Amino acid sequence: MSKPIIYAAFANKDDNHLPLLKQESSEVKDALRVLETRDFIKVEREESAEIKDIINTFSSYPNQISIFHYGGHAESDLLQLEDADANAKGLASILGEQENLQLVFLNGCSTRGHVEGLFAKGVKAVIATSVPIEDRKSLVFASSFYKALANKRSIKLAFEFAKSIVETEFKDAPAIDIFRGIAIPETSGTTEEIPWGLYIHDDAEDILSWRLPYYRQIGLPKEMITYIGQNVELNKYVVMVLDEMCKYNKDIYHQMVEVIDGEEVKKDSSTYIDIVIRNFPWVIGSQLQLVLQQKKPDLKRLEQLVSTYEITAIVLYYILLSDVWDGLRRNKIQPPKNFIKDIKQSRSNILSINFLQQISDLYEFAQSKEIELFVPEFEKFCLEIKDSGSHLAKANGYLEKLKGKFAETPVDQLVKACTTAEQALAVVLRSAAFLADYKMLTVRNITIDNPRYKKKTYELDLGKLNAIVNTSLSLYEDDAKKRKESYANCNSIIMVPSEKDMRQSLNLSPFIIDKNTFLNNHHIDLFIYGFEEKDAYHYIAIKHSIFIALENQKGTDIIDTDMTLLTFEEGKNITQKIQEKEDDFGFGEAFGFEETDVVTKDSPKVFTLLEEQFEQFKTDFSL
């Protein structure tokens, strides 16, 4: 099927002018621009719609239009177009003929009267209003809805997001709701009400989970794949992950080429591994950087390949766990007691857990509870891992076996083992390639700038967690990058589809952390949650292989939530309370002090916030 089309028609008569309608048109177009630029969708927009324009557009794109949006004056039985009023019955007939039409959004006054007729003609879902609506609220609701839809949210979640924005910005907003069929509560009919409803046909409840496309079947051009095959030797299979990354993020291809004298030329193939590293979040990219450093097919390279697999699996698991956690709280669901067992893993057994299999189990639970995920790509991932014949399932099985015995690999089999392990790792990374279409950010303090008569903005101390080397990770210095129209959670690692709308984010705390967030240090130092031990939660550094980090050889590869500020100042693991003698220059006994008399001084614990989050997590998951 060809890419879906969103058709937005606006009408604004001079004798009854809506001053913000043009802005609504522009903001809807801007919200969808990223998907259109990446060739996922096509947007058709008519600023001064007449009846013939609507007829011609649907005739030009038979069965291709997925969403019809109308903005302008309306009544319960008509839309006021530029040249004449469009009768609801005739419009319903045109829309009902479109086999792939998913949603009709009538953003005008009192359009709820259109719903019954649209349902009768087979339209699946309608957003309509039950009373007159104010121009500013119409703009905010529509732009918020399409921003969410463009950021991989389903129709349901996009509607709920737009609802939350209107309810936040306008204090007089009553309930906005989703209705099965057309029965709705009585309204008072005042213009102060926020009257949008999402109406779903009785036979089309699945439409609530419909989303705009975010994946294409074709990644790199065939000649680029051939070029990689002929020119890349070391890490060839990891570099080939770029093909899958491009299916989610077309921008990656443009990082592989440059234009010289108007002609597109491929960049040096030796730089392509850097593109892979840079487009994965640093929690994975750091491990790939270590793979890059191990150029010989020896035991060290084999260890790092396995470590990269393990860290990738753990990170994916924590992303999904955070997603499901949000879903539980959003839907007020209480899971079975001790449903999540592996969050209590110990240092000794963490490497024995198959995290990719845990992802599959967690996803099945989310499906059974009808939890809509922030990261919809897990559906494809979990279908693969459940299929025992898939490349992902086979790679998972191979690497899980290798994880426990790679150190026993005979010297004469190391070349083959390294090649096979790289191939298996590349299969896992291909399945995680959707991460290239998200931004992982560290967010610290947030301040509000709310000058008189100007729009409120927020300044976030944040930094992007994508790099080729660790020294490139730092907080943004550019004010334009720090200033946002919306905000996210602070003191957290978050994942967003776009930095333009921070409200649409997935918080990965307390599972993935930036240690320096809690130490008021400008630099970024990432850790992932490892295990619980002695009533403290322990985190593993990602700057080494997981095997080295677990050994804690250098004293800084594991941190825990019992650590205090003095722990970091002195650079060693010490207890929360330290003992310090009073000023005593050797004559203390002359004043009656014993040698053992000391003063106990408290040092504040650094990770109290993380402890609180873990306790909330345990409560929500009945642990």
239 in the same domain as 148: no
Stretch (H or E) spanning 507: strand 506-507
Residue 464 CB contacts under 8 Å (≥ 6 apart), including other chains: 439, 440, 441, 476
pLDDT at 112: 87
Question: How big is the CA angle at 386 (ends 380 and 390), to the nearest 5 degrees?
Answer: 80
Question: Tens of pLDDT along 283-323?
Answer: 999 999 999 999 999 999 999 999 999 999 999 999 999 99
Q: What pLDDT, on a 0 to 100 scale, did the predictor assign at position 176? A: 61
3-class SS of residue 593: coil
Position 560 in a domain: no
Across all residues in the chain, what is the average pLDDT?
87
Q: Return the structure tokens found at 407.
A: 């150190």
Across 30-52, average pLDDT = 89
Question: Does residue 598 fall inside a structural domain?
Answer: no
Instruction: Write the pLDDT tens digit of every residue in 142-164.
Output: 999 999 999 999 999 999 999 88
pLDDT of residue 108: 84
pLDDT at 250: 86
Would residue 288 count as lying in a domain?
no
Q: Which of 175, 190, 209 is the last residue of a domain?
A: 209
pLDDT tier at 353 (50, 70, 90 boundaries)? very high
- Strand 599-602, strand 577-580: pairing: antiparallel
State how beta strands 196-200 and 177-180 pair. parallel
Do 29 and 82 share a domain, yes or no?
yes
How far, in Å, CA of 260 to CA of 319, rounded?
Answer: 40
Is 552 strand, coil or helix?
Answer: coil
- Domain end, chosen from 188, 209, 230, is at 209
Cα separation, 141 vs 137, in Å, equals: 6
Residue 213: Cβ-neighbour burial (10 angstroms; 0-12, 13-18, 19+): middle
Region 158-181 average pLDDT: 73
196 in any annotated domain: yes
SS3 530: strand
The model's pTM is: 0.88
148 and 25: one domain? yes
- Output Rg (C-alpha) for the chain, integer angstroms: 28
Assess whether 186 and 274 both reside in one domain. Answer: no
Cα dihedral sign, 591-593-598-601: negative
**Domain assignment of residue 614, yes or no:** no
pLDDT given for residue 166 in this prediction: 86
Average pLDDT over residues 249-275: 93
Determine, yes or no, domain membership for 518. Answer: no
Domain that holds residue 105: 5-209
Regarding beta strands 558-560 and 483-484, do their DSSP bridges make them parallel or antiparallel, or are they unpaired? unpaired
Residue by residue, DSSP assigns 295-344 as -SSSHHHHHHHHHHHHHHHHHHHHHHHHHHHHHHHHHT--PPTT---GGG
Residue 494 — φ and ψ, nearest 5°?
-125, 160
136 lies in the same domain as 82: yes
For the cut 80, the answer to whether the pLDDT of residue 205 exceeds it is yes
Question: Do residue 219 and residue 203 come from a single domain?
Answer: no
Report pLDDT digits (tens) over 109-133.
Answer: 888 889 999 999 999 999 998 877 7
- The fraction of the chain above a pLDDT of 90, given in percent, is 60
Q: Identify the band that residue 188 occupies on the pLDDT scale cut at 50, 70 and 90.
A: very low
- Range with top average pLDDT, 131-135, 171-175, 335-339, 392-396: 392-396
N-to-C CA span, the chain: 46
Give the residue ranges of DSSP H helices in 205-268.
Answer: 222-231, 236-239, 241-248, 251-255
Backbone region of residue 453 per phi and psi (left: phi > 0; alpha: psi in -120 to 50; beta: other values): left
Same domain, 30 and 110: yes
Checking if the pLDDT of 581 tops 60, the result is: no
What one-letter code names the amino acid at 390?
Answer: S
Q: Considering only CA atoms, which of 179, 157, 467 is closest in space to residue 327?
A: 157
27 pLDDT band, cuts 50/70/90, is very high
- Crossing angle for the helix pair 608-620 and 299-331, to the nearest 10 degrees: 60
| Contacts (Cβ under 8 Å, ≥6 apart) of 589 | 595
Residues 96 and 222 in one domain: no
**230: helix, strand or coil:** helix
pLDDT band at 597 (very low <50, low <70, confident <90, very high): very low
- pLDDT confidence of residue 207: 93
Phi-psi region of 235 (alpha: psi -120 to 50; beta: other; left: phi over 0): left
Q: What is the Cα–Cα distance from 157 to 163, expressed in whole angstroms?
A: 10
Q: Can you give the CATH number for the domain in which 44 is found?
A: 3.40.50.1460
Based on the fold, state whether residues 118 and 256 are members of the same structural domain.
Answer: no
Comparing CA positions, the residue from 327, 321, 326, 322 lying closest to residue 371 is 327
Q: Are 202 and 221 members of one domain? A: no
At 365-380, the pLDDT tens digits run: 999 998 999 999 999 9
Triad 39, 97, 58: Cα angle to 5°: 45
When pLDDT is averaged across residues 231-254 and rounded to a whole number, the result is: 94
- Say whether both 233 and 98 belong to one domain: no
Q: Name the domain boundary from 209, 229, 250.
A: 209
Residue 139, number of CB atoms within 10 A of its CB: 23
The verdict on residue 363 lying in a domain is no
251 and 129 in one domain?
A: no
Q: Quickly state the pLDDT bin for 519 (edges 50, 70, 90).
A: confident
Counting the structural domains of the chain, the total is 2
- Is residue 245 one of the residues assigned to a domain? yes
